[in-house]
Each structure stands twice: as structure tokens, then as C-alpha cells.
Amino acid sequence: MPKSVKPVTRNLWVLLILMLTALSPAKAETLTAAQAYEKGKILHFQDKFEEAEPYLLQAGQGGYAAAYYLIAGAEPINRFMMSEREYKYLTLAAKEGHLLAMLVLTRDRSLAPSSEKSSWRQSLKQILAPHVEKKNPFAMALKARMHSNDQDTYDAYTTKAAEAGYPTSQYYLATRYRNGRGWFLLPGSREKEVAKLFEAAARGGYHEAIMYKGFTTISGGDIDTGMAVLTSLVDKGDAQVLSGLGIRLSGIGKEYIKSWTYFDKVKGTVLLKSLALSTSPKFDDAYQNFSDRAWATLTDEEKAQVDKLTEEYLNNHTVYKQDGLDEYEYTVDNLHTALERWGGNAIE
């Protein structure tokens, strides 16, 4: 630049260059495959599917089969027939050893030809067989799902998975028995079994079981203990507990949840607003509706409190849907870790 250019002009040139640099897109390769997967996964479970896809594609190309599975599940599921897009990414995931992708490709709604469905089913059976023999909790849960059209076989393997320590199966059985289905012994023993299964599912880390424990404890009158249980999930940013607890605390659900008598409108609205701000309303605007209904019950002073507390919460927490995330991670190569993870949660 000529020496005759004045300092002010030079500064303007520097500012222009900086602005143009800032506007250029960030390179995808600045993230590792692992970083791309984590970022894409959280965006996916915030229902921000379009934002998530570039990261998940990068992760899938980097060896993360679960990333392809998540892309496949990004659109509303048609229970009668999968889309070409869903089939494409499920196949990519299955070829990388993703177990749930293999399972979905065997379903009636799958676009896979009959011979391909049969091939995936046979592959899955062979993969699961040695793990079922070792009482691997997740392997037995998958075995149950392979027989979802046969209630007796499904329940038999779900029971085995629950006994082996898989918390999702434990919660399913607890709910089933509590509702009087699949139980033929004395009512008193049923109640004990239900309590044992719910407790085991919560101990195993299943968030819905932990929520159930917290809600029932509060409904039973022990507010401090119940809130301590639920706060452990609020601190994780679990979208489901923010929704369930927010609806209860704010009072917008009291017409339907008669057993709930503990209310804190400000805290409840903070949870609902944090959830609404964190998730995309494109596919489901229920969270925003809940937040708006709770907000409408507040005074101006309470609204100011909610705004402040919501900002503080979101500065320190990432909100996304979390139950069932464990299942998305399993492939042929890491299925053995399910036994290491949940084997100690077996029910005698």
C-alpha cells in the first residue's frame, strides 16, 4: 500500500479484510470425526435435523455408523413404508455394523428386497447368538425386538434382558406388570416385583425410570428427596424431564395430573422456556406451546425472574433428548461393552 495512504484509510482497509475473512465459511475439516459426531448428535436430539446433517455426514464418513442411523431417522417415520433416503442411510449404517440399522432393514416397512431382508436377519441372528449365550443384556433386548410380531417370544427375551440388567427392558416389564398385563401371580408379589424392576431400571441409568422415581416420591409427600432425584436429570439437560417437571411445577398440567400438589411457577416456566429455546419447533411445536401457556400465568415480576434464570441455565447446560441414546451407539464391534456396562445390574 502506498506510503501516502492516511492511517484512517489504512484502518478501513484492515477492517474490510477482517470482515471478509469472518464471512468466509468455516472448514468442516477443523472438526475431527468424533467432534462432528458429538455436535451432530446433540443437534439431532434438539430436532435441528438440517443443522445436524453436515456434521453427521462427516462423522459417518469418519467411521461413525451411528451417524448414518441418525440421519435416517431425521424425518417423521412412515409406519407403512420407509423413504428412499431412510433406506439409503440405514444401509450405510448397517454395512458399518450398526445393529439397530440391521434390525430396521428386516421390518415389513423396509424397502430392502426380500432376499436382502433375509440376509440382514440372518446376519443379526449370527451376531447376537454368542452374546445372548453370555447373557448380554442388550443382545437379548435386540433378540426380543427381532420377534416383535410374536408377543410370547418378545416377552420371554425382554424378561431375560431385564433379568440380565438391561434397564430399558426392566422399565418395560415394570410398566407392563403394574398395568396388570403379563402377571399371573398374587397381587402382593406383583407390587414387589414392579417396585424392584423400577428401582433396577433407575439404578441402571434409564432416565424415564429415574423420572418415575422422582415424580412418585414427590406425589408421596417427600418433596426434597424427589426434587433431588429429578435435579440430577435437570443438571444433565434432559429434555424429557424438563418437559415433565416443567408441566407439573408450572401448574399447566394440574387438570390431568391429579396426584401432583407441589407447584413452583417460576421454576417450572424456566424449565419449559429453556426447552423451547433449545429445540426446533419445525417438526413439533408442543414445547413452545407448553412454554407459552406457563408464561401466560406469570406476573411481570415473575417473567423477569424467568428470563434471568433461563439465561443462567442455558449458559451452563445443553438441553437435548437423552433417553435411549445408548442404543444408538452399538455396533458389531462394541456389543460386548453392553455386558460390561449393565451386567452388574442383573436381577436375581
Query: What is the reported pLDDT for 305?
Result: 98
What distances in angstroms separate CA 193 from CA 14, 154, 167, 189, 344, one per listed residue? 72, 19, 14, 6, 19
Q: Is the pLDDT of residue 20 over 50?
A: no
**3-state SS, residue 274:** helix
Query: What is the reported pLDDT for 187?
Result: 61
Which range has the worst mean pLDDT, 87-91, 159-163, 284-288?
284-288
> How far is it, in rounded angstroms, from Cα 129 to Cα 141?
12
Helix axes 84-95, 65-72, angle to 10 degrees: 160
pLDDT digit string (tens) for 207-228? Answer: 999 999 999 999 999 999 999 9
For 242, residues 6+ apart whose C-beta sits below 8 A from its C-beta are 234, 271, 272, 274, 275, 319
At 202, which amino acid appears?
Answer: A
> How far is it, in rounded angstroms, from Cα 62 to Cα 41?
14
pLDDT digit string (tens) for 143-174? Answer: 999 999 998 999 999 999 999 999 999 999 99
Q: Is the pLDDT of residue 306 over 70?
A: yes
Confidence of residue 29 (pLDDT cuts 50, 70, 90): low
Higher per-residue confidence, 10 vs 173: 173
Cell triple for 259:
396426584
pLDDT digit string (tens) for 117-140? Answer: 999 999 999 999 999 999 999 999
Calculate what percentage of the chain has a pLDDT beyond 70.
89
> How far is it, in rounded angstroms, from Cα 340 to Cα 260?
38
> How far is it, in rounded angstroms, from Cα 213 to Cα 209?
6
Cell numbers 454395512: residue:
95
Q: Is the pLDDT of residue 28 over 80?
A: no
How many CA atoms does the CB half-sphere of 69 hold within 13 Å? Answer: 24
Helices and strands per DSSP (H, E), number in the chain: 19, 0
Cell triple for 179:
398395568
* Burial call 208-245: b when 16+ CB within 10 Å, e when fewer: bbbbbbbbebbbeeeeeebbebbeebbebbbbebbbbb
Mean pLDDT of 25-39: 80
Query: What is the reported pLDDT for 186?
Result: 60
Q: Is the pLDDT of residue 10 over 70?
A: no
At 191, which amino acid appears?
Answer: E
Q: Three-class SS string for 34-51?
A: HHHHHHHHHHHCCCCHHH
Query: What is the reported pLDDT for 59?
Result: 97
Mean pLDDT of 55-60: 97
pLDDT digit string (tens) for 190-212? Answer: 788 899 999 999 999 999 999 99
8 A C-beta contact, residue 284 and residue 321: no
Query: What is the reported pLDDT for 21?
Result: 38
Query: What is the reported pLDDT for 185?
Result: 60
pLDDT digit string (tens) for 243-269? Answer: 999 999 999 999 889 889 999 999 999
How many CA atoms does the CB half-sphere of 4 hold within 13 Å? Answer: 0
Q: Is the pLDDT of residue 11 over 70?
A: no
Higher per-residue confidence, 76 vs 23: 76
Query: What is the reported pLDDT for 23?
Result: 38
